[in-house]
Amino acid sequence: MHLVRYIATALATVFFAGSGFAFAGSPNPTTPPVDEGLVEELVVTARYPGPAFWRVSDADSEIWILAVPSPTPNGLIWDKRQLEKVMKGANGVVLPSVVTVGLMDGMKFVISKRKQFNNPNGKTLAEVLPQSSIDQYLKIDPAFRKANDLKSKLKPVLFAFQSRMSIYDKKRWSEFYIDNDVVTLARKYKVKIRRASVQPGLPIAEGIIGLNTAEQIGCFDTIIEGARDSLRNTDDAAKAWADGDTALMLSLTSGASLTACALNSSQGQSAESKVYADVLNVVKQALAQPGKTLLVVSNARGLVEKRGILAQLRDQGLTVRSPAE
């Protein structure tokens, strides 16, 4: 059951409205140039203390969008004054999509699929993985792996998910730390709270364990590389976010490292389409009523890409304002 929890928690960060950041390269102490795939005028430092907010509005409605880092160090201190201003008088708060697994359904899944968790013929990771993948795994700080890990018989992608979440546990990082802060303020100001969508995790998990060997190894490499980079950059990315330095935060992140793995399966593709449609529906519903709404997402890159959500909303005639406005 722990393994299913690892998978479900990791999958909760895959898609646009709840998409986990993959951390890229080594921390850059200065703000780098904006990469070509992003809308430069939207990648700016906030003009107020604290994290950056984007705004989408029509004649009488406004959506404030807060893109949060994921994972986030537990205990991160950040300036909530702008969030409080947005929260006061808001129609509602929409939190990122989540992927869930019920306890009983999870237990049934483990019982019925347990033979599919392991490599064929009882092979170990050391026997299944190419040497290049093994070498990449061994570059993880020894404090976050065990000497006998490569003797595991778990399929590569499942072992990688488990390893990733184990690092999160040891580092005391959370996928939902900022969400919890937002919820606390929403309750303080009696603002209604909802999720953009709730997706069942077991169909996606089934698709992932059904990946062929080559796809399994590809996912292993992707997840392990993301885990290694996150050990270097998570704290710096979180600080850049708290300072409202969008460009620096994005330079430390490269998008959702798990997306490619999940989207190798038809179940993952279906879930991604559903999540994206739900986010657009949330925007449509919020703009249909006068006043303001707070939308929390976990992928700033997905907001500010040239074909990202903000660019598409602007193409529809809506007013889009950057954190500097």
- Indicate if the pLDDT at residue 256 is higher than 80: no
**35 or 32: which carries more pLDDT confidence?**
35
Q: Across residues 141-153, what is the average pLDDT?
A: 93
Q: Across residues 19-40, what is the average pLDDT?
A: 52
The mean-pLDDT minimum among 109-118, 267-276, 281-290 falls in 267-276
The dihedral sign for the CA sequence 261, 33, 43, 246: positive
Backbone φ, ψ for residue 106 (5° rounding): -65, -40
Chain segment 279-293, per-residue pLDDT in tens: 777 888 888 899 999
CA 287 to CA 277: how far, in whole Å? Answer: 16
- Do the bridges between strand 61-67 and strand 198-200 make them parallel or antiparallel, or are there none, so unpaired? unpaired
pLDDT at 275: 65
Chain segment 231-250, per-residue pLDDT in tens: 989 999 999 999 999 888 88
Q: How many CB atoms lie within 10 A of CB 39?
A: 18
Q: Are 67 and 279 in contact (CB under 8 A)?
A: no
**Average pLDDT score, the chain:** 81
Both tokens of 284, joined, read 């449509």
- Indicate if the pLDDT at residue 18 is higher than 70: no
Place of tokens 């997840």: 223
Confidence of residue 260 (pLDDT cuts 50, 70, 90): low
Q: Across residues 158-183, what is the average pLDDT?
A: 88
**53 or 33: which carries more pLDDT confidence?**
53
Confidence of residue 70 (pLDDT cuts 50, 70, 90): confident
pLDDT at 226: 84
Chain segment 173-197, per-residue pLDDT in tens: 887 789 899 999 999 999 999 988 8
CA 180 to CA 76: how far, in whole Å? Answer: 12
Instruction: Give residues with Cβ within 8 angstroms of 113, minimum separation 6.
Output: 206, 209
**127 or 24: which carries more pLDDT confidence?**
127
